[in-house]
Structure 1
Amino acid sequence: MRIKITTDNRLGLSKEILALLAENDIDVKKVEVEIGLMFVETEPVEKHLAATIASRLMKIPNVKWVENISLMPTRERNLFLTSLLNAITDPVVGVNNKGHIIYYNDMAGENFKISENKLTELKDIFQQDDWASIVDTAASGNMPVNIKTVSGSMLVEVQAITQKSQKTVGAVLVFHKPESITTRSHLIEGAEISGFDKLISYDEKMLDVINRASHMGNIDTPLIIYGESGAGKKTIAQAIHHSGKRKNMLFSTIDCSISNPQQLEVELFGLANPVSGKAGLLEISDGGTVFIRSIADMPENCQRKLSDFINNKFFYRVNGKIKKEPNIKIIASNTEPLQKFVENNRFNKELFYSLDITRLLVPPLRERKEDIEPIASHFLSQFSNQSGKEINGMSFEALNKIKTYFWPGNITQLKDTLFKASMLADTETITSENIEIDGHAHIESSLENKTLSQAVSEFERHFLEHWYQKYPSTRKLANQLGVSHTTIAQKLNKYKIN
């Protein structure tokens, strides 16, 4: 017999209910209590006795209603949870704070040989000694990691379960087999990934870059991509990754210009520590691609270590003694050629030679005039779909405005400008007034009367004004534009930009 008793709260009420059942020699198996509710499961009883018990329970003060139920609440929730977990086609495991598996779905049972008769400890799922630090990295960094299991190499996502006191009481782990992953890179990047078929260009130079890049997906040698900020270096790198044999594995990014120099080595190579050890990006991305942005800003010690890894195929974590041998494709990028940094003793020569085996140069948007209109149409269609706001195109004046602008921030700036324009537009057509570009009218109307030196200076001033709004620190601006801090300080002083 299973019954649900609705009550008003009263001290001693539960004791009276249980006493009534005991008087009738009914063995109580389970009791669950919630506010205003009491659920009781007993041994099987005959119908007439069950009816009598229900009638007598209703006579107890503060008992409002008694009804039969098919399942106890905990059992019902467990069935719903089991059904939900089994609807997930990836293995899912729940563990307590001691590492004992307390929940798992059918896929986890099948992949890791877990059964109700033999509940496995979490450590039995993995086949590498440092599994605990890798799982901790996934949990603390809120990102998937690559890890070796008894069922082969998998990506695992970890969500810690905490109490209100922030004490961790367990975790949920979701495993993904590489063959079930189409584009897992969004787990780290948080962005839609595009292959070569999604790249938009009619420009001969850009088409040549795309053609060369399309042959690099299955080549394991490192490569360097040059180009101005916002020109599309990362998009090309993603397309290379997704066109090759690593497409089902992680595409991870680290930006040397914004990462803490003291922490960059740990972020990339990991830390060996029995208490707070963690896997670095190279380990996490085993089998995939690591894209290193603004590599000229990488600290000297990291440059040496990365060069050694590329040449020797292994590295050690910071303070570590165990060899790490992840299978990684390295793609680096920079706004300026590394050759000049090597000549000024600001970049490791061996690393330069390793990266410079294969190089790509992405042309700036101002050199791809015929690409501006189709790229703009793509962005406007994208914004329209995302916002639900109907955008049918641009006026002739608006189109002419974006075609004649220099676009110092390249495709990134074009995208930001059009997004703002689509939000400002009162009609389905983007007008020239909706296109807010710093200094556009001044540049366009006055260049004909300038000498080359004056025109270059005017462009340089507007260029710096634009980027200084986004990076109001001379050091950050220097990193972004790929020049020295001293050069930026002198230019800002020259044009009185502050």
Structure 2
Amino acid sequence: MTENAPHFMPTFADIVAYSDKMHALLDTAQKFALLNAPLLIQGETGTGKDLLAKACHQHSERRAHKFIAVNCAGLPSEDAESEMFGQAKGDKTSIGFFEYAEGGTVLLDGVAELSLPLQAKLLRFLTDGTFRRVGEEQEHYADVRVICTTQQSLQYAVQQGKFRDDLFHRLNVLTLDMPPLRERQPDIQPLTELFIRQISQKLAILPPQFTPELMAYLQHYPWPGNVRELYNALYRACSLAEHQQLTIQGLNLVENSAPLSMERQSFSLDLFAQKTLEQIMADYEQQVLSAFYKKYPSTRKLAQRLGVSHTAIANKLKAYGIGK
């Protein structure tokens, strides 16, 4: 779920952005939206990459034309090329989604899922807009803006031999990095209020209320599933609300879930995207402190439990916005 209602093409004004990171992101996105070069939007699952792509389309001069979203992982391998570029077979000719979106925007969601042969054909198309339908020698041209999204590091995929180096450098020019929800604390309450209104309309109920304790819980939860997980948790809680009151139990969130969990057997560098070691350690430290603070809500007790000074703990809690 994104931050917009179904069948609604959002603008930048529809994106919740009270945090500094989202303010900076939208400032850059509005400038990139006016250009025609390929745009790459990176971010963890559930951060709203598709929402940002739609807003970029709506802000561009292509807004009156089609916006086509394609799930790259869902393209059937045997028909993927004809889906993209069309096919000529005997007297029958079909067009692909690039040709269909003439004048508009094509969103390639999960571009890293494309096969290497398709990546080569995409690179050629991005270079000059030309392509050939499957079964034809004639060249065609389509005027579309291509936006790609990925939740994994393309640079890491290049190192693994799963993504073409030349395509990576073609895409890695205009890039936008969606911050995870755990780095958007000022956005959590307005997102919660927005989602409760949307969900209540869907369920045909009065909007439930929430306590300061529940909001504090939402703000300290690490949100491995990001904005999508917040929406889904609130949907469940609204469905179970009694006396128009949301409860923490109704959210049904897993206490020990964390996107940087070192206990996972399938530990993957893809989890860290383009982050530096300092950013990775800061993210994990914040999650650890958030979890411990729920059990040790006193800074002195928490400092004693973790074996550090009271001053050090107090400074870290303040820096991460944990507690009062």
What band does the TM-score fall into relative to the shorter chain? 0.7 to 0.9
1:208 is matched with 24
1:414 is matched with 230
Shift of 1:223: 1.3
Larger helix proportion of the pair: 2
1:303 to 111, 119, 122: 119
Shift of 1:275: 5.4
2:301 is matched with none
Shift of 1:427: 2.2
What TM-score does the superposition give when structure 2 sets the normalisation length?
Answer: 0.76
Change over 3 Å in CA distance of 1:363–1:285 after alignment to 2: same
Change over 3 Å in CA distance of 1:255–1:310 after alignment to 2: same
1:249-288 to structure 2, matched below 5 A, reads 249-274=65-90, 277-288=93-104
Shift of 1:276: 5.2
1:438-449 to structure 2, matched below 5 A, reads 438=254, 440=255
Shift of 1:387: 2.5
Runs of 4+ in structure 1 deviating by more than 4 angstroms, as ranges, are 480-483
Change over 3 Å in CA distance of 1:326–1:299 after alignment to 2: same
Q: 2:174 corresponds to which letter in structure 1?
A: T
2:253 is matched with 437
Q: 1:457 corresponds to which letter in structure 2?
A: M
Larger strand proportion of the pair: 1
Query: Aligned with 1:261: secondary structure?
Result: coil
1:356 is matched with 172
2:133 to 297, 317, 322: 317
Any gaps of 5 or more consecutive residues in structure 2? 274-324
| Contact persistence 2:222–2:257 (CA under 8 A) | no
1:151 is matched with none
What TM-score does the superposition give when structure 1 sets the normalisation length?
Answer: 0.50
Give me the CA root mean square deviation. Answer: 2.5
Change over 3 Å in CA distance of 1:269–1:389 after alignment to 2: same
Change over 3 Å in CA distance of 1:235–1:328 after alignment to 2: same
Quote the Cα distance in structure 1 between the aligned partners of 2:239 and 2:92.
46
Matched, 1:457 2:262: yes
Larger radius of gyration between Structure 1 and Structure 2: 1
Quote the Cα distance in structure 2 between the aligned partners of 1:354 and 1:456.
33
1:340 to 150, 156, 160: 156
User: What is the aligned length?
Assistant: 267
| Contact persistence 1:292–1:332 (CA under 8 A) | yes
| Contact persistence 1:226–1:361 (CA under 8 A) | yes
Cα deviation code 1:399-456 (max 9, x no counterpart): 2222121111111111111111111112222122221112x2x579xxxxxxxxxx94
1:394 is matched with 210
Change over 3 Å in CA distance of 1:243–1:204 after alignment to 2: same
Change over 3 Å in CA distance of 1:276–1:430 after alignment to 2: farther
1:52-451 to structure 2, matched below 5 A, reads 191-274=7-90, 277-438=93-254, 440=255
Cα deviation code 1:247-283 (max 9, x no counterpart): 1111111112232222221211111113554211101
The structure with higher relative contact order (CA 8 Å, sep 6+) is 2
Cα deviation code 1:346-399 (max 9, x no counterpart): 212222122111111111001111211110110001112232200143122322
Shift of 1:481: 7.0
Any gaps of 5 or more consecutive residues in structure 1? 1-185, 445-454, 465-477, 484-498
Quote the Cα distance in structure 2 between the aligned partners of 1:347 and 1:421.
41
Quote the Cα distance in structure 2 between the aligned partners of 1:418 and 1:365.
15
Q: 2:170 corresponds to which letter in structure 1?
A: S
| Contact persistence 1:241–1:289 (CA under 8 A) | yes
Shift of 1:207: 1.2
